[in-house]
Structure 1
Amino acid sequence: MTTHHGPAGPRLPAPGPMSEAAFRDLYRRLREPAPEGGARGRGALDRLTPERVVAAAAEVRCGRAVSLAAPVETRPGPDSPEPASHRMTAPARPVTGGHGLDFARDRFAMNVHGDVDSHLDALCHVIFDGELYGGVPASTVTPDGAGALTLDLVRDGIVGRGVLLDIPRLRGVPWLDPGDQVTAEDLAAAETAQRATVGPGDLLLVRVGHRLRRRTLGPWDVTRERAGLHPTAMRFPAERGVSVLGSDGNNDAAPSAVAEVAFPVHVLAVNALGLHLLDYLDLEELAEECERLERPHFLCVVAPLRLPAATGSPVNPIAVL
């Protein structure tokens, strides 16, 4: 279990509320630059070139593989009113003996975009002002499925260099309290403190300690309060040119810093920047290993399900250290 990381670093001023006008100005400025190569079809994944994938493989030092996903939650709770369902379909009765062949079978269903299970958001997940990323009309998403920017863009998986920035470690606390918000200055300070480098094509993972707090104190209603990024923090991944953004929380804090926009970080990340988002990861074991090895970089592999018309998928990302 991750514990206190020593003396607290300098506490930066808490970010304040953001007006809708200021948010929309930030949205326009982040949306304007096209990803490298000028192609908008795969969003920020255009930056994850074969050369960068090869370089990411060189980050492996000890061959230690770590899951970044939490166990799928099948029990209802304050953060999981509609938990995943898992039931056995065979055998119909307990097998105590017998002769010949039989099979155990089961069925699984889940709300992909819930507030407890680890999942990936496709680029068609966030609609803002009637558009998807790159100006694609929201009408391409219908009750029968999405027709553009779907999960099919990552059917071959995402493989690249992962970088963990541990904000509780920076602040000398086990976790951030619900409602706390991470700034671009926090991210830059964590990068310096951990001797990390965040660059083009990277998979940037930001730990806020959500999973550790949940395990220690129990689940709570995260729709009301949760730690996450402040909208202005999105300048950091935009300037560094990352390809994927993930967190052990929702990425968005609650309550929102923008009263008129409930999920401003989702809007900026997915809709403006074309970033695939990883929500509700479990970064505790990874944080321990990165601290032990004094290496915040690793090879990261994300393999979503093959659901061509879907807006997201449960995932079990793997970090290889």
Structure 2
Amino acid sequence: MTIVSRRGALAAAAGLAAAVPAAAQQSWTPPEPAQRCPGPWGAADRRGAMNRQTPDTVKRTAGLIRSGEIVELGQVLEQGMPLQSTRQFHIHLKPLAMNPQANRRGSNEEMVIAEMGQVGTQFDMFPHQTIGNHTYNCVEVDRIATRNGFTEMGVHTVGNIFTRGVLLDIAALKGVPMLEAGYEISVADVEAALRRQDVALAEADAVLFHTGWGALWGKENARYLNSNPGIGVAAAEFVIRRGPILMGADVATVEVSPSKTMPAASLPIHQIALVVNGVHLLENLKLDELAAKRRSEFVLNVQPLKLKGATGSTVAPTAIL
């Protein structure tokens, strides 16, 4: 039985693991509402995997801090960054007149025009993706969508994420600086990386994948966006069964794009994570510095913008070592 069943979702909440049949790895299809809803936290739940962050997990996470060094994991928002499809980012400086007082106080401002939920290093909230007309926990999108944002599950409801981060360096595992375009990270890759790095996944983790693809950011934008390595369906389900809060990567989609094993599917892991299991995605991370430090576990701190009703947020995550 795969993660998409109600029984599998309950197992995920408990952090239990089960084998995924080989056929399921190749032929995932969106489960029917009766199979996926209600989620493990009940029909009224709107927080999904964030339910796993508790005062106890925060205290345990704080105990991971050793040196106090901070490593920034967010890309710089700028005109020359990769932008998917019709997304835009423009910053317009607004110099203001000198104030008339004797102290000659001058000031400047700027106006930013952008999809602030879906540019740069970005955090995905549940209504960003759907299965048909349903988002997480089978909530009908038409019922919560308004001209001014979503009335439920806007990114402003997430709050601060302070949890154990685990970086799986798949590029280093394969002995390359960068995985090739379209490389699908498998369960075997995840297991091998865990053994190599002597680390195990635990409930409430943030699991990040280093592919090396971030080296293209702002330099070869067309190549960065055209196709990328990332996790496959089986690997995503394997990780989700361990009960993470989020999954992230140094690519635009977290998941492999396009999928070689599921070429007819459109970003199925977005549905598996956000819609079926309530697990957030963190895209376009800057992971080169963290990977170079060979630190497998750390404190991850992420604070989405308080964009009421938004589908996501540009973020500037940090790893605290």
Question: What range is the shorter-chain TM-score in?
Answer: 0.7 to 0.9
Contact map agreement 1:30 1:273 (CA 8 A) in 2: no
- Sort the Cα spacing of 1:17 and 1:76 in 2 relative to 1 into closer, same or farther, 3 A: farther
Whole-Å Cα distance in 2 between the matches of residues 54 and 266 of structure 1? 30
Q: Decide which of 181, 184, 187 is 1:181's aligned counterpart.
A: 184
CA distance in 2, matches of 1:76, 1:212: 12
Gaps of 5+ in 1: 1-14
Q: Tell me the residue number matched to 2:8.
A: none
Partners in 2 of 1:223 and 1:119 — Cα distance? 15
Match of 1:44 among 49, 56, 81: 49
**Equivalent residues of 1:124, 1:141 under 8 A apart:** no
Unpaired segments ≥5 residues, structure 2: 1-21
The equivalent of 1:277 in structure 2 is 281
TM (norm. structure 1) is 0.82
Percent of aligned pairs sharing the same letter: 29
- Correspondence for 1:224: 226
AA at the equivalent of 1:310: A
Residue 187 of structure 1 deviates from its aligned partner by 1.2
Partner of 2:136: 133
Q: Which amino acid aligns with 1:248?
A: D
Instruction: Tell me the C-alpha RMSD between the 2 structures.
Output: 3.0
SS at match of 1:259: coil
Report the alpha carbon displacement of residue 34 of structure 1 after superposing the two structures with TM: 3.7
Q: What is the distance in 2 between the residues matched to 1:49 and 1:228?
A: 29
Q: Which of 60, 69, 72 lines up with 1:67 in the alignment? A: 72
Determine if contact 2:210/2:250 at 8 Å carries over to the other structure: yes
SS in 1 for 2:134: coil
Distance 1:36 1:51, change over 3 A: farther
Aligned to 2:115: 111
Find the aligned partners of 1:184 and 1:27 in 2 and give their Cα distance.
25
Aligned residues: 295
Q: Tell me the CA shift for residue 148 of structure 1.
A: 1.5
For residue 230 of structure 1, report the CA deviation from its aligned partner: 0.9
Aligned mate of 1:203, from 206, 212, 221 = 206
Asked if residue 161 in structure 1 is aligned to residue 164 in structure 2, the reply is: yes
Structure 1 window deviating more from structure 2 (33-42 vs 139-148): it is 33-42
- Give me the TM-score of the superposition, normalised by structure 2: 0.82
The one of 263, 279, 282 aligned to 2:267: 263
Please report how far the alpha carbon of residue 232 of structure 1 lies from its aligned counterpart in structure 2 after TM superposition.
Answer: 1.6
**Secondary structure of residue in 1 paired with 2:168:** strand
Does residue 1:299 correspond to 2:303, yes or no?
no
Measured after TM superposition, the shift of residue 227 of structure 1 is 1.1
In structure 1, distance between residues paired with 2:76 and 2:85: 13
